[in-house]
Chain A
Amino acid sequence: MLGEITRRDFIRYCATTAALLGLSQLEFTKKLSAALVASTSGKPSVIWLEGQDCAGCTVSFAGSLNPPIASIILDTISVRYHEVLMAASGYQAEKAYHETVKEGSYVLIVQGSIPTADDRFCMVGGRPFREILLESAGNAGAIIAIGACATYGGIPAAGPTGAVGVSKIIKNKPIVNLPTCPVHPDHMMGTILYYLTTEKLPALDKIGRPRMYFSQTCHDNCRRRSYFDEGMLLEDWNDPKQKNYCLIEKGCKGPDTYSDCPVRQWNDGFSFCIDCGAGCKGCAEPTFYANMSPLYAEESGMLDEIKTKTFLGDDTQIDRKSSKGV
């Protein structure tokens, strides 16, 4: 098992993503090696902050098998501060944080939202999380907000603490937003690698999402799409005939949601929300959660429209309210 986690293997893995980043394999590998050798230990330093979060994004990241998580945290990046992963606690943890901030040029990863109603809703080491975020953003080489909460406020934004995403607090620097609840480990590693190899952030859409991951709707690439086009909608999860039918009737938000989930899938290509019959809940959009609710019912009128349409031989597309922000 240990044989897998060499840097050489890791670079090989990275090469397979080169095409995605629009680079040749050779070029990519060279650049990546150079980037890794550049810092003193060969590993870029990372400060990973948690605000109002559930740790789900860390857990998601820790589920990465390709590349294996051990290779990422021991061989690829230097995790200077991460409340879940680090050995140190309390004073030692704070010290590691301050030293890294002083050094500068680290990748700042943020998960969890920031309360604006009162700083006391999120305190770390006796300080408001908002202040820690402002401080660490100052010297960061790149800032990546991960998960629905850190990007656009997510579920906490629907609550009473005035929760907002990073870009509402840090105004003077570009922020890469990697929504979905939780973050997809590929989105995260891909973005970090893109930055390390090109020293640039990937092309972003108007709301800060990398276009390489968020340019098409789940509906566009859905493997149930042909059933939608035929007006065949799942009504009973017990019926084997309906197993792969479209999930619009069960509240699927795929038509409203820009993400490559259907192509990339989750858990190393195992499955994802639509595959398992639950439908998309729109977690890649700024309108998640409050304006995606009710999650399990279709209330936009689309259903009536589908039901009154003659499908066979009719190739007109049903217009869905256009997605926000792209």
Chain B
Amino acid sequence: MGKKIIVDPVTRIEGHLKIEVEIENGKVKDAWSSGTMARGIEVLLQGKDPRDASYVTSRICGVCFSVHQLCSCYALDDAFGADVPTGGTLLRNLAMGAEYIYDHILHFYQLSALDYLDIMAIANYKGKDHELNAVKDKILNLVRTKDTYPLTPRYKPDEYCVTDPEIVTHAVKHYVEALTIQAKARNMGAVFGGRHPHYQSIVVGGITNLPDINQVYRYRSMLDEQAEFVNEYYYKDVMAFGTGPLLPLAKMGLGGGHHNYLSYGALQKNPPAKKKLFPAGVIMNLDPANIQVRTFDENKITEAVKYSWYKDGKSLHPSEGRTVYDLDKKRGYTFVKAPRYDGKPMEVGPLARMLIAKNPDLIGLVEQGVKPGVVARHASRAIETKLVVNACYKWIEQLLTEMNKPGFRIHDTEHWDPPETGIGVGFYEAPRGALGHWIKIKDHKIDHYQCVVPSTWNASPRCEKKYRGQYEESLIGAPVPDPDNPINVLRIVRSFDPCLACAIHIIDPHTNEIKKFIVE
């Protein structure tokens, strides 16, 4: 039996996550991923007006809220029989584009970069650059005043940390600039979304915000600033790190996991044509030299609860999912369920999307020896951010053309009132990965609601076949020479951009058992 270490809370992620690993001979031998908070979003939707679903599910996650809002609207559009006009789709896409850009920038600089930098190397910066010296002074001033929160305390930098004072100082400068850029990206989203976080304008049938020409140009000028940061800073930083100081980690394939990948596909590239910016697909047992992409089949999704705090039952398709809490379950160790595709655990997210799209930039990295893992995940995120920026420019042009047509529409008003009955499903690719919402409507109200979200796929526990979840599997074999300094564990978990508020759901459509937990 190796030494067990528990990291709780895992910080710089969204939500409450605990990671437990067993270390033997300086490496992770086994791992358990545990979500420790639950709210019951899907339960509380039952009996409500179906149109509320997009607003309420947005609150599943305050970081990637809009993806739930949109995915929920896709499910509602399906159930209501709404036909979203091209203008509505374009505006939805533009709001979502801003979301990708802000989310990926924030993840790399604010949430992850500190794992790869020896930030105190700044003290050794000797160059003459005025701006870099300003960064140096700022950090040294924090040190002098003995108050370096929240940059410290931290894990001790290991041999993989970047220590070159020039690179580190640049990176910290970009960290500070990224704080402003991500805030501006959010304002860009708010141009059509109405407010950020938690967009307001995306509803069943389309969008509520009839744009004027000023808004469109405002969005485009804001996009110019984002494009510059993404192309000149973010993308270059990630590539420079990945193929430079972090190449040993990249070649090691740290945090690889199961090598099964899933994407539902997202964002119509050229609406109303159905072709997606991110294609759907499935890869099983990736062979990087010969990537085989299969067709995605919704019916192969099931969710297991054997190791989760829910009453045992058969693995079911999400549209049928029935679960009741069992907080006393001995085997249980998480609120996260275990979704599987064709019985297998899958990785979802940017790496899955770029592999399934056979993206040339990513393939180029693979040819340089970068194996799927933490570095490839960060690289995929930067690559797809560039794709999104380019797509936003195209959507803007298309929107301007559409707005000039007589009878420009943004909403299917004919299908605004909830139908008496209906079934709907929505699929989307959130920044963190594949997202699905399922709804059943009865008597004009929500009868059943279910989401299977990216972090449920990635952070899932073991299933009845005992396959570990993707976080867990990715941790196996990770070097942890000093159990008091498990920096590689955090690097791996954070490379997935965890979002635990999303991952945890509580549903119980048809029994009252849940009530026994309520203190009157």
Contact = CB atoms under 8 A, between A and B. Distances in A.
B519 A54 contact: no
Given A42-B145, A54-B61, A83-B11, A181 B198 contact: yes
Interface string A24-42: 0000000000000000111
Contacts of A272: 194-195, 200
A237 interface: yes
> Interface residues of B toward A: which range?
35 or more
A240 B403 CA distance: 11
A161 to B, nearest CB: 6
A117 B9 contact: no
Chain A, interface size: which category? 35 or more
A90 B8 contact: yes
A242 to B, nearest CB: 9
Given A69-B183, A88-B154, A160-B514, A55 B37 contact: no
A130 B375 CA distance: 38
Contact of B39 (A5, A156, A278, A290): A156
A46 B116 CA distance: 26
Given A267-B195, A276-B201, A52 B10 contact: no
Contact of B149 (A3, A96, A275): A96
A276 B60 CA distance: 22
A93 B19 CA distance: 14
B63 A89 contact: no
B134 A295 contact: no
B194 A275 contact: yes
B52 A69 contact: no
B316 interface: no
A138 interface: no
Contacts of A70: 176, 179-180
Interface in A51-91: 51-60, 62-65, 68-70, 73-74, 78-80, 82-91
A93 B6 CA distance: 13
B65 A56 contact: yes
B164 interface: no
B357 interface: no
B48 A293 contact: yes
Interface stretch (A120-128, A207-215, A312-320): A120-128
B51 A294 contact: yes
Contacts of A55: 14-15, 61-63, 501
B322 interface: no
Contact of A87 (B7, B152, B514): B152
Given A87-B154, A296-B51, A182 B197 contact: yes
A163 interface: yes
Contact of B186 (A53, A63, A113): A63
Given A55-B15, A160-B518, A295-B55, A78 B194 contact: no
A134 interface: no
B291 interface: no
B208 A64 contact: no
A245 B145 CA distance: 55
A79 B131 contact: no
Nearest to B176: A70
Most B-side CB within 10 Å, residue of A54, A126, A250: A54
Contacts of A182: 62, 197-198
Given A237-B410, A238-B410, A69 B180 contact: yes
B177 interface: yes
Interface in B120-149: 131, 134-135, 138, 142, 145-147, 149
A238 B403 CA distance: 11
Contact of A65 (B16, B138, B180): B180
Nearest to A111: B62
A62 B209 CA distance: 25
B153 interface: yes
A240 B212 CA distance: 9
B411 A237 contact: yes
A135 interface: no
B62 A56 contact: yes
A273 interface: yes
B514 to A, nearest CB: 5
Query: Which residue among B12, B131, B193, B411 has the maximum number of chain A CB atoms within 10 Å of its CB?
Result: B12
B177 A294 contact: no
A296 B49 CA distance: 8
Contact of A270 (B142, B149, B152, B191): B191
Given A2-B176, A276-B195, A240 B150 contact: no
A2 B138 contact: yes
A290 B41 CA distance: 12
Contacts of A95: 153
A50 interface: yes
B15 A86 contact: no
A123 B152 contact: no
A140 to B, nearest CB: 17
A92 B153 contact: yes
Nearest to B194: A276
Contacts of B138: 2, 74
Nearest to B207: A237
Contacts of A203: none
A237 B153 CA distance: 51
A84 B39 contact: no
Nearest to A185: B183
A40 B146 contact: yes
Contacts of B43: 159-160
A276 B92 CA distance: 13
Interface in B465-501: 490, 501
Given A276-B209, A277-B210, A93 B176 contact: no
A121 B37 contact: yes
Contacts of A124: 8-9, 16, 36
6 contacts: A56-B197, A78-B147, A83-B16, A160-B40, A161-B40, A276-B195
Given A80-B149, A89-B7, 20 more contacts: A2-B176, A40-B147, A54-B60, A62-B179, A79-B149, A87-B11, A89-B155, A96-B153, A117-B517, A120-B309, A123-B36, A160-B515, A237-B207, A271-B191, A271-B195, A276-B192, A276-B208, A278-B194, A296-B49, A297-B49
Q: Which 5 A-B pairs have the closest CB atoms?
A: A56-B62, A276-B194, A159-B40, A41-B147, A294-B49
